[in-house]
């Protein structure tokens, strides 16, 4: 058997985390490096919250809230409930133990330490062997422009406003002037396989690729690049990818996402249910394969990770 490849995964939140849970069973967890979106990061109550970094960490630790896909299993919300009584908004449902992670991060950032080092420390404290790298240590908030000239932070769009459908465009300009996080470009250059996880292409993968140097590093890497469709049967599994894809003028389909990734990816995995789109994806110049992509449990995630690596490595 050939040695397990070194895999770099570009990752957003829930979908990526569930894929990574399978990937770290397909190959040793230490062979995986997740490069994670920080465009969702935002201060709440003066505390630096990094939703996607924490979702990936908690999921790989087996500590994630199983139904919600974010936050910690069994967590309470006593702090934000008390903040609500003091007049604060509480639409971002940050749990108590989850808040501890963010308090730790905030204090360490204020002490002058870097987000990457802090993230590494947290994932080790949670017993996670997989490296988790923030895409950037610079602030790169993603904004969503809505009809009527309204402009909101992505978390306001998603968690506060319930992801309305009047998206006019997505503003990644802060990511567009950020520096890649420590280790990001090096990990990409060294990878044997690069996976674009089944995450929101607009607001999860988009910010990572918007950081100057990252897209070029992926394209220039010797490793094959394989994308996994986040769209099944014309709809996202979770989250507002449909509204955001429409907002940027893309088709809400596996094929529509493949079009966004053509020029970046060499290969593409789409769901069995989207078999009718296989030829269109191949016509984009991508090696493609269909399989079960709805990760309703860890075994499906494992099988999907295996199929994805096999396709990437052309085995």
Contact residues for a second copy (CB under 8 A)?
45-47, 75-76, 78-83, 85-88, 96-97, 99-101, 103-104, 106-107, 110, 121-122, 125
- Kind of pairing between the strands at 42-44 and 47-49: antiparallel
CA separation for the pair 86, 95 (Å, rounded):
17
CA separation for the pair 84, 126 (Å, rounded):
29
Distance spanning both ends of the chain, measured CA to CA? 12
Instruction: Please report how close the Cβ of residue 77 comes to a second copy at its closest, in angstroms.
Output: 9
Instruction: Please report how close the Cβ of residue 60 comes to a second copy at its closest, in angstroms.
Output: 16
By CB atoms closer than 10 A (0-12, 13-18, 19+), residue 259 is middle
Instruction: Please report how close the Cβ of residue 76 comes to a second copy at its closest, in angstroms.
Output: 6
Nearer to a second copy, 122 or 135 (CB): 122
Nearer to a second copy, 76 or 147 (CB): 76
Nearer to a second copy, 80 or 218 (CB): 80
Instruction: Please report how close the Cβ of residue 129 comes to a second copy at its closest, in angstroms.
Output: 17
Nearer to a second copy, 93 or 179 (CB): 93
CA separation for the pair 245, 205 (Å, rounded):
12
> Which is nearest to 36 in space by CA: 175, 243, 223?
175
Which positions ≥6 away from 269 have C-beta within 8 Å?
226, 227, 228, 229, 288, 289, 290, 291, 293, 304, 307, 308, 311
> Which is nearest to 38 in space by CA: 140, 116, 128, 121?
140
Instruction: Please report how close the Cβ of residue 72 comes to a second copy at its closest, in angstroms.
Output: 8
Instruction: Please report how close the Cβ of residue 29 comes to a second copy at its closest, in angstroms.
Output: 20
Instruction: Please report how close the Cβ of residue 61 comes to a second copy at its closest, in angstroms.
Output: 11
Instruction: Please report how close the Cβ of residue 127 comes to a second copy at its closest, in angstroms.
Output: 10
Nearer to a second copy, 106 or 199 (CB): 106
Nearer to a second copy, 96 or 251 (CB): 96
CA separation for the pair 172, 194 (Å, rounded):
22
The phi, psi pair for 5, rounded to 5°, reads -70, 155
Nearer to a second copy, 18 or 123 (CB): 123
The 10 Å Cβ neighbour count of residue 166 is: 12
Nearer to a second copy, 3 or 46 (CB): 46
Tokens of 184: 């990001």
For the chain, how are helix, strand and coil distributed in percent, rounded to 5?
45, 20, 35
CB of 305 closer than 8 Å to CB of 23 = yes
Nearer to a second copy, 89 or 279 (CB): 89
Tokens of 117: 């080092």
Instruction: Please report how close the Cβ of residue 91 comes to a second copy at its closest, in angstroms.
Output: 16
């Amino acid at each position: 058997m050939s040695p397990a490849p070194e895999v770099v995964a570009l990752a957003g939140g829930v979908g990526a985390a569930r894929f990574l849970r399978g990937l770290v069973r397909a190959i040793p967890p230490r062979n995986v490096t997740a490069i994670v979106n920080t465009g969702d990061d935002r201060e709440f109550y003066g505390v630096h919250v990094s939703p996607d970094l924490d979702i990936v960490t908690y999921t790989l630790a087996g500590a994630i809230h199983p139904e919600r896909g974010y936050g910690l299993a069994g967590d309470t919300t006593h702090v934000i409930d008390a903040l609500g009584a003091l007049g604060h908004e509480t639409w971002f449902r940050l749990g108590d133990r989850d808040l501890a992670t963010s308090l730790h991060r905030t204090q360490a950032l204020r002490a002058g330490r870097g987000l990457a080092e802090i993230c590494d420390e947290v994932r080790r404290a949670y017993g996670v062997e997989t490296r988790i790298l923030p895409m950037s240590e610079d602030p790169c908030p993603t904004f969503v422009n809505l009809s009527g000239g309204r402009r909101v932070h992505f978390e306001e769009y998603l968690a506060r406003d319930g992801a309305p459908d009047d998206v006019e465009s997505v503003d990644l300009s802060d990511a567009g002037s950020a520096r890649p996080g420590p280790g990001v470009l090096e990990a990409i250059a060294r990878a044997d396989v690069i996976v674009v996880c089944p995450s929101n292409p607009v607001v999860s993968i988009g910010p990572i690729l918007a950081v100057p140097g990252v897209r070029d590093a992926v394209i220039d890497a010797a490793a094959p690049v394989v994308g996994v469709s986040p769209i099944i049967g014309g709809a996202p599994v979770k989250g507002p990818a449909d509204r955001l894809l429409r907002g940027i003028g893309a088709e809400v389909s596996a094929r529509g996402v493949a079009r966004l990734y053509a020029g970046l990816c060499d290969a593409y995995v789409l769901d069995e249910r989207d078999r009718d789109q296989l030829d269109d994806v191949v016509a984009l110049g991508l090696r493609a394969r269909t399989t079960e992509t709805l990760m309703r449990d860890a075994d499906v995630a494992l099988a999907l990770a295996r199929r994805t690596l096999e396709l990437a490595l052309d085995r």
